[in-house]
Structure 1
Amino acid sequence: MKAVELAFHEFAANYLFDDHALKPFFACDSRVKDGDGSQVAEFEIGSERWVVKLYYQDSGIVHPGPENPQGTPFRINEIREFRFAVSRHPEEDPVGEQSFNAHLAPRWQGMEIENDQGKRSEYSVPEPITEAVNVKINGSNIDFRRYHELLCRAAESVGIHRRYFERPHQFSNVQDAERYVRLDSDRSGPIHARDGPIASMAHLLENDRDGYRKLVQNERDEKGRHLPGYYHTVTLGPRRVSEAFPSHTFPREVKHYYSREAAGMDDDETLANPKLGASYQVSRWDETIGVTDDDLEALITQLDETVCSVMADAGIPVHPADDDRGDGHGPFVSDAYFDPTEEQEVNVVSLDLTRIRETQESVVVKHLSDGLSPVEWEALETLVTDGGQVSPQDIAEEHGRHVDSVRRALKRIPELVESEYGSVSLRSNHVAEMVHDAVQEARDATRRAVEAGAKALEAAERGIDETTSALVAWCAKHGIDVDDRQEARVMFRLQGVENVEARLKEAYRLWTEAGKDPARFRSAQIDLGERGKSAAWRWL
Structure 2
Amino acid sequence: MEVSRVTGYIEPAPHEFSANFLFDENGLAPYFAADSRVKAGDGSQVAEFTDQGEQWIVKLYFQESNIVHPGTRLPTGTEWRLHEMREFRLKVARHPDEDPVGEQDFNAHLAPRWQGMKTENKYGNVSEHSVPEPIIEAINVKIAGSNIEFARYQRLLQSAAAAVRVRGDYFEVPHEYSNIQDAERYVRLAKETSGPVHARDGPIASMAHLLENDRAGYRKVVQNDDDEYGRNLPGYYHTVTLGPRRVREVFPDHALPKEIKHYYARHALSQSGDSPLAHPKVGVSYQVSRWNETLGVTPDDLDQLQRELDQTLLSVLADAGLDIAPTHGTGIFVTDAYFDAKTTESGPEVIALDVTEIRSTQESVVIRHLADGLSPVQWESLQTLVTDGGEVSPADIADEHGRHVESVRRALRGIEDLVEREYARVSLRSSHIADLVHQAVTEAEDAVKRAAEAGAKAVRTAQQGMDETMSVFIAWAARHGIDIDDALSRREARMEMRFGAPGQRAGRVIREGFEIWEDAGLPAQRYRMARIRFSDGSLANAWQYLNPG
- The TM-score with structure 1 as length reference comes to 0.88
1:57-206 paired onto structure 2 within 5 Å: 57-206=63-212
Counterparts of 1:211 and 1:220 in 2: how far apart (Å)?
26
Take 1:88 and 1:334, find their aligned partners in 2: how far apart are those partners?
A: 19
Cα-Cα RMSD: 3.3
Q: Give 1:201-240 correspondences, 5 Å limit.
A: 201-210=207-216, 212-240=218-246
SS in 2 for 1:361: helix
Counterpart contact for 2:198–2:205, Cα < 8 Å: yes
- Corresponding residue for 1:439? 441
Please name the residue that 1:532 is paired with. 537
SS of the equivalent of 1:414 reads coil
Q: Which stretch of the first structure deviates more once superposed, 31-40 or 142-151?
A: 31-40
Work out whether residues 510 and 542 of structure 2, in 8 Å CA contact, stay in contact via their aligned partners in 1.
Answer: no
CA contact (8 A) 1:226 1:263 kept: no
AA aligned opposite 1:111? M
Contact kept, 8 Å, 1:320 with 1:340, in 2: the verdict is: no
Q: CA deviation at 1:481?
A: 6.2
The alignment status of 1:35 with 2:41, answered yes or no, reads yes
Which residue is 1:387 aligned to?
Answer: 389
Question: Structure 2 unaligned runs (5+)?
Answer: 1-5
**1:389-404 alignment runs, 5 A limit:** 389-404=391-406
Q: Deviations over 1:140-177 (max 9, x none)?
A: 00010110011111111122121221211111110011
Q: Distance in 1 between matches of 2:425 and 2:388?
A: 12
Q: Does 1:56 align with 2:62?
A: yes
Would the alpha carbon gap of residues 447 and 483 (structure 1) be closer, same or farther in structure 2, given more than 3 Å must change? closer
How many Å apart are 1:256 and its aligned residue?
Answer: 1.3
Shift in alpha-carbon separation, 1:328–1:120, aligned structure 2, 3 A: same
Please give the per-residue CA displacement for 1:117-142, whole angstroms capped at 9, x wherever unaligned. 11111111101111111110000000
CA distance in 1, matches of 2:74, 2:172: 25
* Shift of residue 37, structure 1, vs aligned partner: 2.2
C-alpha change, 1:216 and 1:64, in structure 2 (3 Å) is: same
Partner of 1:6: 12
Residue-by-residue CA offset, 1:312-348 (whole Å, 9 max, x unaligned)? 2222122112xxxxx4212211111111224142311
Query: Contact 1:182–1:273 at 8 Å: present in 2 too?
Result: yes
Deviations 1:370-405 (A, max 9, x none): 111111211211222223333323222222222332
Rounded to whole Å, the distance in 2 between the matches of 1:283 and 1:250 is: 11
- CA distance, structure 2, for counterparts of residue 57 and residue 385 of structure 1: 55
CA contact (8 A) 1:181 1:275 kept: yes
Q: Structure 1: how far apart are the matches of 2:230 and 2:455?
A: 53
Residue aligned with 2:16, SS: strand
* 1:360 aligned onto 2:362: yes
**Residues 16 and 183, structure 2, Cα contact 8 Å, conserved in 1:** yes
Query: Distance between the aligned counterparts of 2:428 and 2:542, measured in 1?
Result: 45
In 1: Cα distance, 2:498 partner to 2:122 partner: 69
Q: Deviations over 1:451-502 (max 9, x none)?
A: 4545676x589x7555798888766544456896999x99976566875677
Q: CA deviation at 1:358?
A: 1.0
- CA distance 1:329–1:470, shift in 2 (3 Å): same
Change (3 A) 1:445 1:523: closer
Corresponding residue SS for 1:299: helix
Instruction: Give me the whole-angstrom Cα distance separating, in 1, the residues matched to 2:112 and 2:237.
Output: 39
- Paired letter, 1:19: E
Residue 409 of structure 1 pairs with residue 411 of structure 2: yes
SS in 1 for 2:204: helix
Whichever residue aligns with residue 35 of structure 2, its letter is: D
2:352 is aligned to 350
Aligned to 1:324: none
1:408-446 Cα deviation digits (max 9, x unpaired): 222222222233334332222222211111111111211
Superimposed CA distance per residue, residues 198-245 of structure 1 (whole angstroms, 9 cap, x where no aligned partner): 111122222223453222111111111212211111111111111111
CA distance in 2, matches of 1:39, 1:465: 105
1:97: Cα distance to partner? 0.6
Cross-structure match for 1:339: 340
Letter of the 2:282 partner, please give it: L
For the residue of structure 2 that corresponds to 1:320, the secondary structure is coil
**Equivalence map 1:261-280=2 (5 Å):** 261-280=267-286
Count residues with an aligned counterpart: 530
1:331 is matched by which residue type in structure 2?
I
C-alpha deviation, 1:38, in angstroms: 1.8
Kindly provide the amino acid, as one letter, of the partner of residue 320 in structure 1: P
TM-score when normalising by structure 2: 0.87
Secondary structure, in 3 states, of the residue corresponding to 2:357?
Answer: helix
Cα contact 1:478–1:497 (8 A) shared by 2: no
Other-structure match for 1:374: 376
Identity over aligned residues, as a percent?
59
Are the aligned partners of 2:497 and 2:530 in contact in 1 as well (CA < 8 Å)?
Answer: no
Partners of 2:340 and 2:315 lie apart in 1 by 19
The answer for the alignment partner of 2:262 in structure 1 is 256
User: Once the 2 structures are TM-superposed, how far is the Cα of residue 17 of structure 1 from its aligned partner?
Assistant: 1.0
Which amino acid in the other structure matches residue 333 of structure 2? F
